Amino acid sequence: MRINDGQKNPDALALDTGWKVDIKVPEGKLSVDSMKNGMERADCQHAGEVILDARKGFSYESAWRGMTQALRDRSIKVKQITFLLPEHEIKSYQAEDIRNLHLPPEKNDGHRK
């Protein structure tokens, strides 16, 4: 079904969760700002999950920092972030788990100790 309401709409509906899903494919190199902006745009579309195609131009540190900065804004209601990585790897994070880390983005390299 196609929605023609003049607005940006999510890309898919997850049948298992019922969440709207927004898929982000960065143009150029992934940065903190592009990740944060993508999360904010997905939230405007009421997406429960964001899937980020990070197979090219991927900086895990930039993605992690952008994700944590965006999720510090409690008004963003995205519940899950999934990364499509090189080598067919997939990593998913629950937004609430990221919010509860309480780590400043500039000090976090995306790896747990």
What pLDDT is attached to residue 56?
78
For residues 34 and 59, the answer to whether their CB atoms sit within 8 Å is no
Measure Cα distances from 91 to 64, 86, 105, 109 in Å.
Answer: 12, 11, 19, 16
What pLDDT is attached to residue 93?
92
Whole-model pTM: value is 0.76
List beta partners, residue 82: 51, 92
**Cα angle for residues 95, 99, 104 (degrees, 5° grid):** 130
pLDDT band for position 21 (cuts 50, 70, 90): very high
Tens digits of residue pLDDT in 39-94: 888 988 899 999 988 887 667 777 788 888 888 877 788 999 998 888 889 999 99
